[in-house]
Structure 1
Amino acid sequence: MTVADTPQAAAFRRQVLIPLKLRLFLMQKLPMAWLAGLRLRQLTPEQAVVTIRFKFLTQNPFRSIYFACLAMAAEFASGIQAMMHVQAGGPVSMLVVKLEGDFTKKAVGLIAFTCPDGPLIAQAVAESCATGEGRTVVCTSTGVDEAGDVVAIFRLTWSFRAKC
């Protein structure tokens, strides 16, 4: 399923793909994401890629990335897509209502979370705007290390409700 790219979504993408502007946004609205060093590597109407690196502020006592930092990166990969698609429509509230995670390997180095659920998010936002009712979407963010091995898979359930 392809997603129609709206001028509002394209403008949002241009803004957040400028590293300085994204860092300022993170400092103001998501300071923990800024401290953890989240980076937005790719944002299209279909998917987003967010990276997090093992460092002092993201470590756990077992010399890997703390699970909450991994969850934050996974949530941001789906959340930035949701923000982009909400910009394209009317006022819509968005909220994570459920989070599940599977951890398959120790997370060290640079971990890239990819969420390919842009079309599902766009459809839910559009349906909520059209009907005025809430919609939920289960987004999957998969974290891969530098060797290409999957380290974690998160499933985030987002709720969208039009505020009209």
Structure 2
Amino acid sequence: MPDLQVLKTTWAIRLFALTRIPLIALIRPTILRADDQTCIVRVPLSWVVKNHLRSMYFGALCIGADLAGGLMIMNLIRERKSRVAFLFKDFQADFLKRAEGATVFTCNDGPLLLELLEKAESSGEREEGTVTVTATCPDKLGSEPVAAFRLTISMKKR
């Protein structure tokens, strides 16, 4: 049975997405883990996210990477009641294999994001850092990556 906190986080992000960024809600992400170290997001392979080759469309893969990196920083900002705004400044992707099943996006850069947030809070200046997100299709390819992403996050105290 799924952890209650994981279910709450999944529904909270879906509600947020529905009201603020409907495109995220459309892909129906599930949060598998979200803590101060790691964020793991699963995006099912459905007709909404498939391309003409019946694998996951690259735009859906990018949304999954955005969520894995962005949700962690959103949680840190909320927990600390911080007045820091963030956005993605740069986005790089390496598509290694076709994602032919539900895809899991993992970001393990919690400590880096916390350090970046603390610097932005204390300096009042814009601070930037790059997080990595790895995408896998566990049902089809096990732990072999199908894509690797590097997202540069820019933060500044409001």
Query: Normalising by the residue count of structure 2, what TM-score does the alignment of the two structures yield?
Result: 0.89
Deviation string 1:102-130 (CA, Å, 9 cap, x unpaired) is: 01111011110000011111111111111
- Counterpart in 2 of 1:131? 123
Q: Does 1:140 align with 2:132?
A: yes
Q: Does 1:82 align with 2:82?
A: no
- For residue 21 of structure 1, report the CA deviation from its aligned partner: 3.1
Q: Does 1:94 align with 2:111?
A: no
Contact 2:120/2:156, CA 8 A, preserved across alignment: yes
Q: Give the alignment partner of residue 118 of structure 1, picking from 101, 110, 125.
A: 110
- For residue 149 of structure 1, report the CA deviation from its aligned partner: 1.7
- For residue 84 of structure 1, report the CA deviation from its aligned partner: 1.1
Runs of 4 or more consecutive aligned structure 1 residues displaced over 2 Å after TM superposition:
14-23
What pairs with 1:11-160 in structure 2 (closer than 5 Å)?
A: 14=5, 17-87=8-78, 88-146=80-138, 147-160=142-155
What residue identity is the alignment partner of 2:16? Answer: F
Q: Distance in 2 between matches of 1:95 and 1:20?
A: 22
Q: Distance in 2 between matches of 1:139 and 1:122?
A: 12
Q: For the aligned residues, what is the CA RMSD? A: 1.5
Q: Distance in 1 between matches of 2:86 and 2:9?
A: 24
What residue identity is the alignment partner of 1:155? Answer: R
Q: Distance in 2 between matches of 1:127 and 1:19?
A: 29
**Runs of 5+ unmatched residues, structure 2:** none
Query: Normalising by the residue count of structure 1, what TM-score does the alignment of the two structures yield?
Result: 0.86
Q: How many residues align?
A: 150
Q: Distance in 1 between matches of 2:36 and 2:110?
A: 6
Change in Cα spacing, 1:24 to 1:152, as seen in structure 2 (3 Å) is same
- For residue 16 of structure 1, report the CA deviation from its aligned partner: 7.4
Q: Distance in 2 between matches of 1:46 and 1:16?
A: 18
**Runs of 5+ unmatched residues, structure 1:** 1-13
Contact 2:31/2:41, CA 8 A, preserved across alignment: yes
Change in Cα spacing, 1:127 to 1:18, as seen in structure 2 (3 Å) is closer
